[in-house]
């Protein structure tokens, strides 16, 4: 299977460089294609979507484009102090074009303004679990696993 992101790479790159959010139409299109591919091949019926929705436009776009195709079962919020988050991102060494301190600070500010209201929305729906991600990767993984295992068992 070819990488669906590659067809949108030139379109997405300016948003990544600026540390801003990719338009919801592109994101939902990519998510829908990946889900269809997984469903058609019977490899996957349940998905973990990382970092989406990030703002009201993403949430509304999901509800417009995807609510009849997939439903949100759980929202995980990995809480981490800002300075630790920046340090980890800068140290991950994966060569992302948006891995610089100023872009990361912009993304954190954007998250506070745009992302927290989305988390509040899902909190009111009873779907949010907060996990302290300032701990070791193994400790965080165990907490994530504890939350997701029942969902994965019940959805298979």
Domains of the chain: 4-155 (3.40.50.300)
Distance CA 78, CA 76 (A): 6
- Compute the distance between CA of residue 104 and CA of residue 75 in angstroms, rounded to an integer: 22
Closest CA to 22 of 84, 95, 107: 107
pLDDT in tens, 10-54: 888 888 788 777 889 888 988 888 888 888 877 777 888 998 998
Decide which of 1 and 128 is more confident: 128
Crossing angle (nearest 10°) for helices 116-124 and 56-65:
50
Higher-confidence residue of 44 and 1: namely 44
Q: Compute the distance between CA of residue 33 and CA of residue 41 in angstroms, rounded to an integer.
A: 12
Q: Does the structure show a pLDDT above 60 at 4?
A: no
| Global pTM value | 0.79
**DSSP 8-state symbol, 113:** I
Query: What is the distance between the alpha carbons of residues 52 and 4, in angstroms, rounded to a whole number?
Result: 17
The HSE-up count of residue 37 (CA atoms within 13 Å, CB side) is 10
Q: Are 129 and 72 in contact (CB under 8 A)?
A: no
Range of weakest confidence among 3-7, 62-66, 132-136: 3-7
Q: Could you report the per-residue pLDDT of 94-130, keeping only the tens digit for each? A: 777 777 899 899 989 999 999 999 999 999 999 999 9
Question: With bands split at pLDDT 50, 70 and 90, how would you rate the model's confidence at 6?
Answer: low
């Amino acid at each position: 299977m070819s990488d669906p992101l590659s067809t949108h790479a030139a379109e997405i790159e300016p948003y990544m460089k600026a540390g801003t959010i990719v338009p919801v139409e592109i994101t939902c299109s990519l998510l829908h294609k990946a889900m269809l591919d997984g469903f058609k091949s019977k490899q996957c019926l349940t998905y973990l979507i990382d970092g989406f929705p990030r703002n009201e436009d993403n949430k509304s776009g999901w509800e417009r484009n995807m609510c009849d195709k997939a439903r949100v079962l759980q929202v995980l919020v990995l809480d981490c102090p800002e300075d630790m988050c920046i340090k980890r991102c800068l140290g991950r060494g994966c060569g992302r074009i948006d891995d610089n301190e100023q872009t990361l600070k912009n993304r954190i500010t954007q998250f506070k303004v745009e992302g927290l209201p989305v988390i509040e929305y899902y909190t009111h729906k009873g779907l949010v679990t907060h996990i302290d991600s300032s701990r070791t990767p193994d400790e965080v993984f165990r907490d994530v696993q504890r939350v997701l295992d029942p969902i994965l068992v019940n959805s298979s």
